[in-house]
Structure 1
Amino acid sequence: MSTSEHASRTDLKTVADILEDANLAQRLRSIKVDQDIVRVLAQLAKQAVHMGIDYQTLGVGWHHPDSRAAYRSCKHRSTCSPASRKRAAASRARLRTAVASAKDRQDMRATLTEEFLREIGVANESRLRAAATWPGVVAALQAELLLPLRALNEGRMTQTMCGASLPEDDLKGVVLALTEAVLKSSTGFSEWRYSSPRGQEQLRGLSDHQICLWQEPTAQEHRGGLKTHEDAPGELGFFWATKIGGPSHGFDYESQCILPLLANARHKVILVSVAAWTEHPVGRAHWRLLWSVGCGKKPPEPRLWLETVNADFEAPVSSEGWETAVLSHAVSKADAMGVPLSVNVAQAAALQSLLGSFRDAGQRFDMYIKMCVYMSVCLYVCINV
């Protein structure tokens, strides 16, 4: 049996088990569905039924899971709540109907696209219905974006944790724009981040070469099976990035705080993956392109700003060597772009140990103490996308 055949059989079993329908596999074979349809159906069933959380009823807040593994375990109180289980049952029933009523492969793809839009809470948004494509839905489900997109679209962002009011309508507009970008194609989200008017304005002043390097999802291999990477083409992993370590913010608590990462061309993350844990990245550090303040005839200059590395709560792996690997990644990219690197003062010792391997390091890299104003500036820019 080939790898693809084994994967297809596994997906069929997953769908049959979750939808509680022993005849489902036979029905799918009768309309000769392709493997991508079976995979999407399996992912949709798993994310909407097994992992499903009813944000429309429960709202967003600190009562939701704080790690990706907790969502996948399907045992958290948010997942097991009566409201979430009731919604999951309705999702199961609709997916059963979708399989039973589909006429052919084309009809099945259209139906599953409609179901995905319904599951993320945008079924009535004509703009998003028009934008949705099968490749976009496939990529979104592969990246496990059903819950992140549902939380962002169904949750309300009215005030901060401290009670300060938020511009809810403006934030809603940003969420709709990024959701539309995700749905357009497998790389629509990253293309939107860098090509929107706000994104282009944030990159203005960089050379074409520097822009190309910044947009690149750079990856590096390190000792001990470590890999640092700015996610992957499409950047859909950014939606889960803040569920690595914390808790501070995420798509379903303090949701407005993840929008600077999702909606700004100048904001990325460096992720850490390890050979011993292949489920998902286990470390992350915020990674930003900022500008110095010009003085007199001296124009503003670009800076790359690296924050500290956070480790996943659930992954049973050691974080030894992560900081050095992330700093090495940042130094290499800053050197390639010809842009000074700024880091948290707590990373000074680790950075100093790396500088000897980089020529003219003293002229190319500097250190700044972290200032909270950066997040405020990024949030303002995000609102104006």
Structure 2
Amino acid sequence: MTDEPELELLRRSDPVPAGDPRWRDRPLDARAELGLRRLLAAETASEAASEAAAASAPRRTARRLGGLVTGLAAVAAAVVAVLVLVLSGAGTTPAVAAPVALRPLAGSPEVPLADVAGAAREAARGGGTGTRRGSHVMMWSMGMESGPGARPPVTLPEEHLTRWNADGSGTELVVATDPRHPGEPVISDSGGAPRTVADGEVLHRAAYPPGTLPPYGRSGTEPPDSAKQLRAYLSQVYGCACAGTPELVDALASLLQDWTPGPAGTAAVDELLAAAPGLRPAGAVTDRLGRRGQAYVHDAAGLRRMLVLDPADGRVLGIEETYTQDRPEYRVKAGDVMSYQAWMD
């Protein structure tokens, strides 16, 4: 017997509140919605018949209520079965529903990027750990095929941890995992075709001896802490002229995969973003790791890029790319998430 209060026991039995954004991670597609409508229609008809019987025999109401609860449980079980078929298929490699695009909280304050850049520069004055080579990032990417016989798109979640030392030694680790659904099987395309792997399965592990890389990695030099110099660095190292916002965001994503900026480097990144044309604030948002941040979006060429920043220190928490137009050749629809990256310390 436990001494915990009953309310705490209830919370632990249902730990995810109804408003939690993770409930949106597995949307029903058209096939699942059709199955759900049919199931609910059957239950509604059954309930109506029971209510008619109850009206003519009031003493049977209590039994009808029990039957309704049982019927709803059966509907729930059937819906789960529909979802399993939709998400897994019958006798085929299971597929994973793509994550729903992040949606900023309606009516939340929209913090200007210039304010975030100012907060980042203020945080940099306090010192802190400098820029380090390597990164820790969760990635969700859409695996797509085109042409006759192409398989439906699947979402491939991976966690990447890369560390490099000043002597050129380092380690790389890639694990198949999805923190939105801990312990559940994960789809991986390692080996050339999508397949189911266990949560936490190591897809790649490597250790490199000293001298493998220059002292500061493949680029040879550490990213500068000045926004002006950082733009030139992106051009030299990543080939980004960065005249447009999409190119700038893509180059910064590459930078953040190679490096983990310190406070001063983060401020330089934010100052570049604050000057980027068309990148507008969209309000507060909760990212896929449950962290609150500010969203900034840019639309171009059928793709929406959303950056999620920590308004307190300007850190880039995530970058999401979502289709805004249908791409029938890839069986992709507007609103599908093409990729998402979430950076961790």
- Shorter-chain TM-score: which interval? under 0.3
Greater percentage in helix: 1
Q: So what's the TM-score if we normalise by structure 2?
A: 0.25
Greater percentage in strand: 2
More RCO (CA 8 Å, sep 6+):
2
Q: Which has the larger radius of gyration?
A: 2
